[in-house]
Structure 1
Amino acid sequence: MTRTALARALAIAAVLMVVACGGSTSGGGAKTNAAVAIVPGGPHPYFEPMRQAIVDAKADFSLAKGTFEVPSDWKQDLQNQLLTSLAAKGYDGFGIFPTDGNAANGIVAQLAAKNYPVMAVGGCVAEPTKTTFCIATDVGNSAYTGAKAAITAMGGKGVLLHGTGLLTDPNTVLRVDAVKKAVAETNGAVTLITLTDIDKDAQTADTAINQALATHKEITGIITSAYNPTVAAAKALRTLGDKKIKMVGIDDDPVVLAAVKDGFLIGTMGQNPYGQAYVAAYAINQIHQGCKKKSGAPYFIDSGTMLISPDKAATYKEDFKTLTKGIVSGFKDKYLSC
């Protein structure tokens, strides 16, 4: 064989090898590891555990890159700009909490058109969508469970205050409906007062909660299903110094955990933002390497929740990490075809 013929044969063999292995230089189907960006819809303390989650995921899954970036405000165009900028910097897999559950589908479609895997984390994008999975809390079940616990502690009767999140948050309507369901099951024994759109910041929540408590002296129970209202209500009950109002909150702000330990709250519904980002990074990397969503696999994947009562306050973080590792270990078999 001549040197020219040998070179031609080796070139052909190399092409055949790439085709056979399904190799690609970018996007889904690549054999290299993904560069993953976790991008919430805007600033909020709920998302902070995701910052460490992407650091851990980069190390555990050998990601090419990993970053946690937050838009300066809760505006879909700002999230779009940030995602576009990250894609231009070489990120090719994205976990997003949508600023707007419907409008986010525009930027999701643009990213998916480049074969970049996209996951919804913490809150779902409205279907139909090009996000492969939504990895989030079953917020309806969480709010229902919390409301039932509060109502039980109230003796099954009284006035229940519900403080919840932003109207643009796709989770808010699910939480409102879940609490209404729990109250309806009392057949009129519990009266519900609902405060929506009070999770923008601490001041908004403080004002709304304290005004409600001052106006409605008949309140005997509180369920909060968003971060800032929970902190505001926990502070208000401690200030009042009266443990007659039975409250269940959400999330694990130090103020809230202290109130649980000191008996001002029955408990708080823990969520798993760390696990949401960590599992999403794993799934993005698997799809980037060529895995596909398994036929019949669900869109929504529950990241877990639990009532953090005083006896759980010292162990819940490890409990969630154990839960997260379990989701990852079974993810490929349950949800992917590789």
Structure 2
Amino acid sequence: MWVCAHHGGHGSIGHPSSHSHTRAAAMASSADQKPQPHVIEECRGVLQLLSDGTVVRSKALPFPVGDGADRGDGRVEWKDAVYDTDRGLGLRMYRPAATTAEADQDVRAKLPVLVYFHGGGFCIGSYAWPNFHAGCLRLAAEVPAVVVSFDYRLAPEHRLPAAHEDASAALFWLRDQLGSDPWLAGAADPQRVFVSGESAGGNLAHHLAVQLGTAGLDPVRIGGYILLMPAFLSEQPTQSELNTPATAFLNRNIAESYCRLFLPTGANKDHPLVNPFAPDSPSLDTLDVGRMLVVAAEGDLLRDKNVEYAERLRAARGQENDDVELLVFAGEEHAFFALKPASAAVGELVQAIRRFVATE
């Protein structure tokens, strides 16, 4: 907002030169005043987009995590690495700790590999956030599996398709590392790789399924895809969107704000990267991705889209095909895996993932 200074008063009457000088000074002062940037979008209290295009990020964490949920109790080892040095994109790798007998014999059973992409509306989040870390600890310990949790570029600094490009690069990096990194190679089975993600990460997992299918990482084999409440939206709202209360963790206002921040300039929610049923989206009827587990939450704004996605995949494969499994968690909201990593519901979800991986 422009701020104009107004000068004048009775003392200037009858003194034209003084009055002109005062007006000129006021105009100069006004010209020196520039509009101050103001917040035009705010995300979860940790990201602000200002009117001049500046993005301000806070180091605060928007989600609490339960006491002890992120410690791992010594059951899991982890280490960090970088998969894109130019962009500074990192990851965290987890594996169950070796037992005393295994350590003595320098032997470790080969485990399935679970790739995980975190949520956050494509705008916030990191593998290092305590919630995501806690969930990955639980997956590694209880599936059990080697878990690889990747970061990716975030909007609005990097709008879509930046995140999708990074997710693809992450998988090809992993393909190369599974045979060469001793920390991974000693524990990971490259013939049992599963690609998963929650919310925005579930969206990434879907598009990786479209890109790679079952054979796109040769010689590494993808055994299936696990989509946790994937972020699918459209211009036409679903009934679950219309019914979502303003008090929900993911409500319509927050979803709209995310979209304004991450969509390509000029795009709407029917963009193929957001709406898998849009006219320009790859056909689900011919999608060859092998096995898939789709998880929805009963109280989620995205529930109807998630259920429809699984049902369309099932219909395309025929009634007798059971490669697509749909689980709807009663009483849960969006992103409950990340929000409540120590909860009983997440325990049920981890066991479902365990069964999905084991019955390949």
Give the TM-score normalised by the residue count of structure 2.
0.33
Give the TM-score normalised by the residue count of structure 1.
0.35
Query: Whose radius of gyration is greater, 1 or 2?
Result: 2
